[in-house]
Structure 1
């Protein structure tokens, strides 16, 4: 039975590129393989920002009492963060944006591992999947860096309203990327299931109609 190439199917379903450009995009996108160091950096920033956000709610005195080895956020960052207006640092979408970033990383790493173990994709298709996840990771890292700048007093000359608007924009951008990731994973999962059913059908046919020796 015919198996549709993952690259073409996903490009068509997501309207990422015209079919005639798929080969060129595949060659270009395969250069963006998962970078372990960047993933570790992204995970570290997520952890640090979450911890820093929690520390803020325990008060400034608690921060001064914590030894340098107890948290990984740079002291200067914390000092500046505490100078930002309460309306900015306590804005609910700060924590919500970080939570979305964490879910995005968890979901694409889980999906990539699941697709590798499925046995239904070619090495080239797995490389394409990895490149999409890597690109999402790069963009997420940039969003976190921008969020850190918005939350750090003195880094950007912005009024309180401008900082809140920037946080809203980063939240929406992160939510959009998480939505894209879930749609992308759904398309890949459907293709994996289709191929698995085809493989099972072929095995059943071979059992019912064994070839003559």
Structure 2
């Protein structure tokens, strides 16, 4: 079972029955195709970021949170606290989570808009969905890698090596988000152009009808 998926389930409750290890990445990737599940996944990511934010305020605060979906796993926190403050409090850790939240939120919003606009064929919508699904799948692997890096017992690394690894993951997440926004921007322009062409054609038909 992938560490980050197990962590999410332990921290905030499952959003579905845990699948086999070789199917987990695919199932998470498919969340982008389902608006309801995407909303749940986005909430999980937001709660995960809250977990890091609260961690900065002190371990005792976290241990006292024991009710509701926001339920942190003591074993993970114990392991996290073993790494140096330089690694634990590195701002790019929270930055990676923020980028993941943005990626999921913007994918969901764009897909909903493109469907509603009616300017894309079914095959084009399917292609857009595959792009989002792939992005989500890759970003989940980034979170898995992040979890390993910031957990002392998972990898034998110096603080400098951990910070460099976090920098690398942050850079990858940034690239994913830049690509997503470029992809969405291009599709938005295309949808606008098609809408204009349809409107122009409709106006021309009306003019020709009057002339006749």
**TM-score between the two structures when normalised by the length of structure 1:** 0.77
Report the equivalent of 1:46. 45
C-alpha separation in 2, matches of 1:202 and 1:189: 20
Shift in Å, 1:48: 3.9
Report the equivalent of 1:17. none
Report the equivalent of 1:181. 180
Report the equivalent of 2:101. 102
Q: Which moved more, 1:53-62 or 1:85-94?
A: 53-62
C-alpha separation in 2, matches of 1:41 and 1:102: 11
C-alpha separation in 2, matches of 1:149 and 1:208: 66
Q: Is 1:167–2:166 an aligned residue pair?
A: yes
In structure 2, stretches of 5+ residues that fail to align are 1-28
Report the equivalent of 1:129. 128
Q: Which moved more, 1:64-73 or 1:179-188?
A: 64-73
Report the equivalent of 2:144. 145
* SS in structure 2 of the partner of residue 209 of structure 1: helix
In structure 1, stretches of 5+ residues that fail to align are 1-31
**TM-score between the two structures when normalised by the length of structure 2:** 0.78
Shift in Å, 1:64: 2.4
Question: Compared with structure 1, are the counterparts of its residues 70 and 189 closer, same or farther at alpha carbon in structure 2 (3 Å cutoff)?
Answer: closer
C-alpha separation in 1, matches of 2:165 and 2:40: 23
C-alpha separation in 1, matches of 2:185 and 2:44: 28
Shift in Å, 1:52: 1.7
Shift in Å, 1:182: 0.9
Shift in Å, 1:176: 0.5
Shift in Å, 1:76: 1.1
- RMSD over aligned CA atoms reads 2.3
C-alpha separation in 1, matches of 2:149 and 2:55: 16
Question: Which structure would you say has the larger RCO, counting Cα contacts within 8 Å and 6 or more residues apart?
Answer: 1
C-alpha separation in 1, matches of 2:116 and 2:147: 36
